[in-house]
Chains A and B, each alone.
Chain A
Amino acid sequence: MVRKGDEMITLENIEITFNKGTPLEMRALRGIELAIPQGQFLTVIGSNGAGKSTLLNILAGELVPDAGRVMVDGTDITRAPIHRRSSVIARLFQDPRAGICEQMSIIENIAIASARTAPRGFGFAITKDIREQAIERLKSLGLGLEKRLNDRVALLSGGQRQALSLIMATFGPAKILLLDEHTAALDPGAAELVMRLTDEVVRRLEITTVMVTHSMRQALDYGNRIVMLHQGRVMLDISGAERASMQMDDLLQLFRRREGEELADDQLLLA
């Protein structure tokens, strides 16, 4: 059991409803309670509309919940704007174009990201120090990007962009890494490469990570805890030994069984 105070992220009774008071009303999250300890690699799965992207957006600051609290490292950030929480939270997007500036060079993109955790000033952004660090970090990818510092990012493939985004997200000392289906838009080969690089970085930096994915395979292969959302609720939460011995079939069966229970409950309510 995790002692109180060891959690990096605590979500308390998070509620959010979209299109309130209209026929399209949708309760996207219904009282989410989640405590994520420092260094944990959590994967969040669930079908479309389960609330996994909404959950990530609440952590990132793009959405403010109707009720509940978001605590990061002991600080309440529920209502903090995106640019304020970015010094502790780094993020990779699903769209390989979303996390970078296409018309700017690799080194310019890295310079922008390097100021995420440091104050931005009126000194030259691309210093010798940043250039050297960038070369070192890009070398670790093994994609040859360190030789293309002045190339426009628009010239890179989707996989290279996500790899660059990964370097940008972890350039400064972030406490939390949010991965928003960051391999979903890539071809299988690139997806595997980016996922492997992600895993390496997360292990090396021991950064608390929340990855949203719709691939059960990915959720099983990476990370050390799985949370499954269904209709805005936490339906499964597996970690430790149970998580380690879990196979694809077990997970699917568990999912079907819980879904069945849910349906039975609803029918009971309607009756």
Chain B
Amino acid sequence: MSLYAFIGALETGLVFALVALGSYLTFRVLDFPDLTIEGSFPLGGAVAAKLMVMGVDPWSASLAGAAAGALAGLVTAFLNIRLRILHILAGILTAIALYSVNLRIMGGPNVGLLNVDTAFSLAERLGLSSRYAPIAILLVVVIVAKIALDIFLSTGVGLAMRATGANPRMARANGVNVDRMVTLGLCIANGLAGLAGALFAQMLGAADVSMGIGVIVVALAAVIGGTALMPSRLVPMLTLACVLGSILYRLAIALALNSNFIGLNASDVNLVTAILVAIALFAPGRKFSLPKWSARATK
């Protein structure tokens, strides 16, 4: 694998680590399989790109992308809690609706950022080399997000959110407003997805309406793969596992695509990812040990 491919994989891995942290919150903490990110990720990109083209500074635009994502989470929460639509379906509905919304926001299928200042080009001006500026910035953002999430999950509200996912009946009996916790969790998770989308668009040099396709599977691959490789019951270790899972996943994909002898090409990524996630979902609880007959054979 070339250095260029390696750095590219690292950058993408870090961006999707933000999505993975959000998905950890929904899938693992709240036990709410949220598919909204399929729409809130490109929404964050669309909002940020549009604002930046209009002259807003890249960091404010990225935060606006995050806020738009959080709003999308609010819509899913409304569909699920108030209208009592099944959680998975509520997320799909929001994501589908956002596809149209994103086209409206961008006024077309994409918005280019080639002649606009991005968060990364600003860093270059501060003296960072153009090759490592994105990695440095993304690393800081991801670390801040991870630590903030860890701290949040150890506060009174954070514990109440964990109880909501682990045992809603117990949470209610202890005065937790379960609906409010689900709403807050969805807002945070989709806010992170929106922020990731905003940064991803700046990295690519354009926001594209189709950049959300498959985000959910990539996030799941990071959460499930990461926590399968690094099992723990401590929240800071689990969020670290999600971040590392996201980076490892990108490196594995880059490795597979760059190894000509396997015969895979870029269009096979989704298939490979789906197979990896299926294996990771199947594996927990099973020990990767040799079958019994082999133990007997060596005796």
Contacts and interface: CB of A to CB of B under 8 A. Distances in A.
30 contacts: A82-B172, A83-B175, A83-B177, A83-B178, A84-B175, A86-B174, A90-B173, A97-B167, A98-B167, A100-B167, A100-B170, A103-B166, A103-B233, A104-B159, A104-B163, A108-B162, A111-B156, A115-B159, A116-B174, A117-B175, A120-B157, A120-B176, A121-B155, A122-B155, A122-B157, A123-B155, A124-B154, A124-B155, A125-B155, A126-B154
Contact of B175 (A86, A103, A121): A86
Contact of A122 (B156, B174, B176): B156
Interface of A: 60, 81-84, 86-87, 90-91, 93, 97-104, 108, 111-113, 115-117, 120-126, 152, 168
Nearest to A89: B173
A97 B166 CA distance: 11
B70 interface: no
Contacts, number: 85
- The A contact surface, by secondary structure, is loop
B111 interface: no
B188 interface: no
A152 B162 CA distance: 14
Given A98-B169, A100-B167, A101-B162, A113 B174 contact: yes
Given A83-B176, A112-B160, A115-B174, A152 B167 contact: no
A60 B175 contact: no
Interface size class of B (residues with CB under 8 A): 20 to 34
Interface string B228-256: 00000100000000000000000000000
B154 A99 contact: no
A209 to B, nearest CB: 16
A122 B184 CA distance: 13
Contacts of A104: 159, 162-163, 166
A125 B175 contact: no
Given A101-B166, A120-B160, A120-B175, 6 more contacts: A83-B178, A98-B167, A102-B166, A103-B166, A121-B156, A126-B154
Contacts of B158: 125
Contact of B170 (A87, A98, A111, A117): A98
B171 interface: yes
A59 to B, nearest CB: 12
A32 B279 CA distance: 56
> Ordered nearest first, which 10 A-B pairs have the shortest CB separation?
A120-B156, A86-B175, A101-B166, A82-B172, A116-B175, A125-B159, A125-B156, A116-B174, A122-B155, A101-B167
Contacts of A60: 173
Question: Which of A81, A86, A90, A120 has the most chain B CB atoms closer than 10 A to its own CB?
Answer: A120
A25 B131 CA distance: 72
Nearest to B151: A124
A83 B171 CA distance: 8
A126 B155 CA distance: 8
B160 A86 contact: no
Contacts of A112: 159-160, 163, 170-171, 174, 176
Interface in B121-165: 152, 154-160, 162-163
Nearest to A101: B166
A101 B157 CA distance: 15
A81 B177 CA distance: 9
Contacts of B162: 101, 104, 108
A124 B176 CA distance: 16
B175 A87 contact: yes
Contacts of B178: 83
A201 B166 CA distance: 28
A68 B171 CA distance: 27
Contact of A99 (B152, B170, B177, B233): B170
Contact of B159 (A82, A97, A111, A152): A111
